[in-house]
Amino acid sequence: MSEAMDIKNFNIAEAFKLAISVEEEGFKFYDDIVKNTDNVRVKNEIAYLRDEEMKHKAFFT
């Protein structure tokens, strides 16, 4: 998602599809951190953020 998007012409279905994709990418990002850190505090904090992404995704589905 590094390129600019013109969202003013999005319909609601496109907006939700984009939002779901963003939440899924966020989940993957945080999950990679959880899997690759040995720091328990970092693991717990990032796991919380990861799990929040799925709650956000559920809102759009």
Listed by start position, the domains of the chain span 19-60
* Alpha-carbon gap, residue 49 to 41, rounded angstroms: 13
CA dist list (Å): 4 to 7, 8, 14, 35, 51: 9, 12, 15, 31, 28
pTM: 0.80
CA dihedral 12, 58, 3, 10 (to 10 degrees): 0
Q: What percent of the chain has pLDDT over 70?
A: 93
What pLDDT, on a 0 to 100 scale, did the predictor assign at position 8? Answer: 76
* Alpha-carbon gap, residue 13 to 41, rounded angstroms: 38
Tens digit of pLDDT at every position of the chain (61 positions): 556 677 777 788 988 999 999 999 999 999 999 999 999 999 999 999 999 999 999 999 8
